[in-house]
Structure formats: C-alpha cells, structure tokens
Amino acid sequence: MRKQQRGLSLIGLILVSAVVVGLAVVGMKVAPTVIEYFTILKQVKTIANSGVSTVAEVRRAYDRMASADYTESITGADLEVSKEGNDIVISFAYPKKIHIAGNVSICIDYAGSSRGSGPAF
C-alpha cells in the first residue's frame, strides 16, 4: 500500500504567496489614505465641539489643524458648514485615487461629518 502525501505543492505555495503579497501591497497603499480620513474626521469633530461660530472661523481653524497634521486631501474651502439647532455641523466628501500598478488604480470616496458616531465611507 502506498501512502497518500499531504501538504502544499511548490506551485500551490507560489500561488498562495503571490496572493498574500498582492493583498499586502494593496493594504500598504490604502492604509495611509484611511489614516488620513480618520485624522480629518477627528479634526472636524474637534472644531465642531470647540465653540467656533462662523463659517470663516471653521475654515481657518481647519486649515491650521490640517497644516499641522499634513492632511492635504481637502482644505477649509472644501468643508460644508451648516447649523442644526444650536450646533454647528461640518461635513466633507472627497475621492481618493490610489495607484496600484501599471494602469490599475483604486478610487475610494470618503465622506464624513461632525454629526454622527462613526465614519461614512
């Protein structure tokens, strides 16, 4: 009787490794944009809770915070400022195109608001 061999063949190992490396590369390219989005969201929520009262003050405060944190995807002019009751609500939306390789890119539409509990992708 011959025993059946078990395990991963060399070609299987190469294919699995290629998929893992591909996913790691995509993850490493997408992670900075996600971190930047959460930084922008934190800045917007901080400004909304700081007690500023005019649109110009909100935009100036965001531009100061953005220059300190190097968030360059949006500026203070890109923010939409509205008032709900006595609270100022700041919202934003922007697309981010991430080059992967060759002619392959990923486009992520980020959107967020100072109102609400979590992020909205």
Q: pLDDT tens digits for 46-57? A: 999 888 888 999
**Is residue 20 situated within a structural domain?**
no
Residue 107 resides in a domain? yes
Residue 48 lies in a domain: yes
Can you state the angle between helices 10-48 and 55-69, rounded to 10 degrees? 140
Token pair in block for residue 55: 């649109």
Number of domains in the chain: 1
Q: What is the CA radius of gyration of the chain?
A: 22
Position 78 in a domain: yes
Q: pLDDT grade, residue 1 (50/70/90)?
A: low
- Write down the pLDDT at residue 8: 80
Q: Is residue 89 part of a domain?
A: yes
Confidence of residue 41 (pLDDT cuts 50, 70, 90): very high
Give tens-digit pLDDT for 13-31. 999 999 999 999 999 999 9
Residue 38 lies in a domain: yes
How many Cβ atoms sit within 10 Å of the Cβ of residue 115?
15
Give yes or no for residue 75 having a pLDDT over 80: yes
Residue 106: pLDDT band by 50, 70, 90 thresholds? very high
pLDDT: is 89 or 119 the higher one?
89
Per-residue confidence (pLDDT) for residue 51, from 0 to 100: 82
In DSSP terms, 89 is beta-bridged to 82
CB 99 within 8 A of CB 24: no
- Assess if residue 54 is contained within a domain: yes
Residue 36 and residue 49 in contact, taking contact as beta carbons nearer than 8 Å: no
The residue range of the domain holding 105 is 32-113
Say if 22 falls within a structural domain. no
